[in-house]
């Protein structure tokens, strides 16, 4: 007997395909389903989630595989299933509606819409029957049917008001006067006030990795030398990396911690988290010189290369929280399992170091974490640090190999342009800092894949899986990829990446810029009509497209000498000036753009032979210093000739005395050139 399939059977999203055998008659979002809702005058039940979402799986098992609930949905609703990673435009619109209704958001998102797509009620996870203070999904459906029939006029009024409020949330709010760096300082002060001095991070549980907040603190520390900012950043980074949210065996970070201690995560791993976190750990290494941060960054990127990279070069989206239907099963250990692998001699020490006990620290099992640093642990155990590290490294390798034989969590092999842009940037930065070619090659290969395979007639495409690229790209896709390509240029000095970044920037401005109000819309000017055309400015788990677009355009303007790019970057920042003043905690990435703009970003040019040791030494001196507000270019032509007509900064930059020469400039006015790497590093640190 052939297993039944609904309308999701032809989709490429792993999340949608997970639901293709549900008895619910799911449709993908599209004109066919929307027209059916209008023709039959039925409520649309819109369910939005993603492949790695634990509670999405729970609601599927409890409700969407329930024949009785499916019968109600199929009789009275048009049911539409959406992968939020494919359609962030829909997710952004209807998430605001959920938050208006319930005061909170999350996934799965469960929304009820009128046939014209306007929302009137919704929430997140609903159990099948009433429990734990949550209304049961079956009863809710029956109540919606009754209200839709008996109170239609009231629903129409409420839906209209809600849609109007959603539209208002996209309005820009320029500041009355000029914006200053005091806004960055105020945001840093706000983070100090919310800092958890016991466990790191900001606020209570659940704790999400605060990558952008730490980036802001590091920049404020660099400029003001307030050591507390650096201490807060470092303490948080250390606590996260020593906790269970970090995979102590395989590298990479889980999505967030359900407790204040960074111990128990939701076990899914997201590409964007690992891109942002690897970058901030690289920045912390540059700022502090502490090799621990570098090891966390490289282990995270090595995990991505091992587990999250397609044969074609693109980076996959996520790994699931569950394996064999149990959340976290792949990652946890019992003491007897450890002893069976390591033997009696090493097990005791290994288990004490990684907090593996008989009672367990997670549902009778153990998440590996490091409650005490190696120095204190060695003192208590009366063992030298070298011996300890040898035992731990040997144990990790053995346990990792055994873990690899377990049933792995599912992997969402969808390739998203925006998230790939973030990871391209992080790989490129790691290549600059570590001089490891594998990271640069991974960034090149991913960029080639996106630029070669994920373009359509009208521009970039959003998603690729199974040989199929589709869906119009959003602002995030353009902005994040442009930023990643600039990073790749500054790591390789290959003109093609800068040329592609500039071409995409022009395309982004043409298709997304708001000529009436400044800033960028989330969807292009030829995108399908939705109930609102949104602008997104607040950061969430990933930075907002407007924030990244602003930084990318400011960097491009500096590198290319194009005032038009810089003007659009500044205009984007100023468009949200009032919001920066009122709620800085929601705009950390836009504040980084402001920081770049007002901090007199340096223009650094290196002239030399790219293959010569002295050029590598000069670049090493530049890349060792934490200097986020800069652009970097390399002159490799003959003496006195600009080999790169793209970058005006390189005009007249020559090697002096036959040695690699570093020019440090502001607004194209340069200080005296330097040929001594130590002098370069000292100068940059003092700046």
Segment 349-402, tens digit of pLDDT: 999 999 999 999 999 999 999 999 899 999 999 999 999 999 999 999 999 999
* Cα 277 to Cα 213, 425, 606, distances in angstroms: 11, 12, 29
pLDDT band with cut points at 50, 70 and 90 for residue 645: confident
Give me the helix-helix angle, 374-381 and 344-353, nearest 10°.
130
443 vs 424: CA distance, rounded Å: 5
| Contact assessment for residue 43 and residue 148, using Cβ atoms and an 8 Å cutoff | yes
pLDDT band with cut points at 50, 70 and 90 for residue 644: low
Give the number of C-alpha atoms closer than 13 A to the C-alpha of residue 680, restricted to the C-beta side. Answer: 27
Q: What is the pLDDT of residue 439?
A: 98
Q: Residue 679 is encoded by which pair of tokens? A: 């002098």
pLDDT band with cut points at 50, 70 and 90 for residue 598: very high
| pLDDT(652) > 50 | yes
pLDDT band with cut points at 50, 70 and 90 for residue 640: very low
598 vs 616: CA distance, rounded Å: 30
Give the chain's domains with CATH numbers: 7-168 (3.40.30.10), 200-307 (no CATH), 331-405 (no CATH), 602-686 (3.40.30)
Mean pLDDT (the chain) is 94
Strands 318-319 and 411-412, by their bridges, are antiparallel
Q: Among residues 603, 600, 611, which one has the least CA distance to residue 663?
A: 603
DSSP 7: G
* 668 vs 427: which has the higher pLDDT: 427
Lowest mean pLDDT among 1-5, 347-351, 646-650: 1-5
In the chain, helix, strand, coil percent, each to 5? 50, 15, 35
To the nearest whole percent, how much of the chain has pLDDT over 70?
99
pLDDT band with cut points at 50, 70 and 90 for residue 1: very low
Q: What is the pLDDT of residue 637?
A: 62
| Mean per-residue pLDDT, 285-302 | 97
DSSP 84: T
| Mean per-residue pLDDT, 68-77 | 97
DSSP 637: S
* 644 vs 452: which has the higher pLDDT: 452
pLDDT band with cut points at 50, 70 and 90 for residue 642: low
DSSP 4: P
| Mean per-residue pLDDT, 47-75 | 94
Compute and round to an integer the Cα radius of gyration of the chain: 26
Lowest mean pLDDT among 168-172, 249-253, 537-541: 168-172
| Mean per-residue pLDDT, 322-332 | 93
In this structure, how many other beta carbons lie within 10 angstroms of the beta carbon of residue 369? 21
Strands 43-49 and 109-113, by their bridges, are antiparallel
| The CA-based dihedral angle spanning residues 537, 539, 545, 547, taken in that order and rounded to the nearest 10 degrees | 70
pLDDT band with cut points at 50, 70 and 90 for residue 170: confident
| pLDDT(641) > 70 | no
pLDDT band with cut points at 50, 70 and 90 for residue 435: very high
Lowest mean pLDDT among 94-103, 137-146, 247-256, 415-424: 94-103
Question: Residue 111: helix, strand or coil by DSSP?
Answer: strand
| Predicted model pTM | 0.94
Q: What is the pLDDT of residue 449?
A: 98
Lowest mean pLDDT among 12-16, 34-38, 130-134, 311-315: 130-134
What is the residue whose two structure tokens read 């100068």? Answer: 683
In this structure, how many other beta carbons lie within 10 angstroms of the beta carbon of residue 36? 15
Q: Residue 374 is encoded by which pair of tokens? A: 């190696």
Q: Among residues 660, 685, 658, which one has the least CA distance to residue 675?
A: 660
Question: Residue 611: helix, strand or coil by DSSP?
Answer: coil
Give the number of C-alpha atoms closer than 13 A to the C-alpha of residue 334, restricted to the C-beta side. Answer: 8
Q: Among residues 76, 73, 103, 97, which one has the least CA distance to residue 6?
A: 73
Q: What is the pLDDT of residue 284?
A: 98
């Amino acid at each position: 007997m052939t297993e039944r399939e609904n309308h999701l059977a032809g989709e490429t999203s792993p999340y949608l395909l997970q639901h293709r055998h549900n008895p619910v008659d799911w449709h993908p979002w599209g004109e066919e389903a929307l027209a059916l809702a209008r023709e039959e005058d039925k409520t649309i039940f819109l369910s939005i989630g993603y492949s790695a979402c634990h509670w999405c799986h729970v609601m599927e098992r409890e409700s969407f595989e329930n024949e009785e609930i499916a019968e109600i949905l199929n009789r009275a609703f048009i049911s539409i299933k959406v992968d939020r990673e494919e359609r962030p435009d829909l997710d952004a619109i209807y998430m605001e509606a959920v938050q208006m209704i319930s005061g909170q958001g999350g996934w799965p998102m469960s929304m009820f819409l009128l046939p014209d797509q306007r929302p009137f009620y919704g929430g997140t996870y609903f159990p099948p029957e009433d429990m734990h203070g949550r209304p049961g999904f079956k009863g809710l459906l029956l109540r919606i049917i009754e209200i839709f029939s008996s109170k239609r006029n009231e629903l129409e009024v409420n839906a209209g008001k809600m849609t109007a409020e959603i539209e208002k949330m996209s309005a820009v709010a320029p500041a009355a006067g000029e914006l200053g760096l005091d806004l960055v300082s105020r945001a840093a002060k706000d983070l100090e006030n919310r800092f958890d001095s016991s466990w790191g991070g900001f606020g209570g549980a659940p704790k999400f990795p605060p990558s952008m907040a730490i980036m802001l603190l590091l920049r404020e520390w660099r400029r003001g030398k307030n050591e507390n900012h650096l201490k807060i950043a470092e303490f948080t980074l250390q606590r996260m990396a020593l906790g269970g949210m970090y995979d102590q065996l395989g590298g990479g970070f889980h999505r967030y911690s359900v407790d204040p201690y960074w111990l128990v995560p939701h076990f899914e791993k997201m590409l964007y988290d690992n891109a942002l976190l690897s970058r901030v750990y690289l920045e912390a290494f540059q700022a502090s010189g502490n090799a621990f941060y570098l090891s966390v960054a490289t282990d995270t990127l090595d995990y991505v290369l091992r587990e999250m990279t397609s044969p074609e070069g693109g980076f996959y989206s996520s790994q699931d929280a569950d394996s064999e239907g149990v959340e976290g099963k792949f990652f946890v250990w019992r003491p007897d399992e450890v002893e069976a692998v390591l033997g009696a001699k090493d097990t005791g020490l290994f288990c004490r170091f990684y907090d593996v006990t008989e009672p367990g620290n997670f549902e009778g099992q153990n998440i590996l974490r490091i409650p005490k640093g190696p120095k204190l642990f060695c003192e208590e155990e009366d063992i030298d640090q070298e011996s300890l590290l040898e035992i731990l490294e040997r144990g990790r390798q053995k346990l990792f190999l055994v873990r690899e034989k377990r049933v792995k969590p599912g992997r969402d092999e969808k390739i998203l342009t925006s998230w790939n842009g973030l990871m391209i940037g992080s790989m490129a930065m790691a290549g600059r800092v570590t001089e490891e070619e594998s990271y640069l090659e991974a960034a090149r290969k991913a960029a080639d894949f996106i630029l070669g395979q994920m373009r359509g007639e009208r521009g970039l495409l959003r998603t690729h899986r199974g040989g199929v690229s589709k869906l119009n790209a959003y602002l995030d896709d353009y902005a994040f990829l442009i930023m990643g390509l600039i990073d790749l240029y500054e790591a390789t000095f290959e003109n093609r990446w800068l040329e592609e970044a500039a071409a995409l920037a022009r395309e982004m401005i043409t298709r997304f810029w708001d000529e009436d109000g400044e800033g960028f819309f989330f969807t292009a000017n030829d995108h399908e009509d939705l109930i609102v055309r949104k602008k997104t400015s607040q950061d969430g788990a990933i930075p907002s497209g407007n924030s990244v677009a602003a930084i990318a355009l400011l960097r491009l303007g500096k590198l290319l000498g194009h005032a038009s790019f810089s003007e659009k970057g500044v205009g984007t920042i100023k468009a949200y000036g009032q919001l920066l003043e009122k709620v800085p905690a929601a705009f950390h990435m836009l504040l980084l753009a402001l920081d770049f703009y007002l901090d007199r970003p340096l223009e650094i040019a290196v002239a030399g032979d790219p293959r010569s040791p002295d050029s590598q030494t000069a670049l090493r001196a530049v890349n060792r210093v934490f200097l986020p507000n800069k652009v970097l270019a390399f002159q490799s032509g003959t003496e006195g000739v600009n080999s790169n007509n793209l970058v005006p900064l390189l005009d007249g930059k020559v090697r002096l005395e036959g040695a690699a020469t570093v020019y440090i400039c502001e607004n194209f006015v340069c200080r005296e050139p330097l040929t001594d790497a130590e002098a370069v590093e000292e100068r940059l640190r003092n700046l």
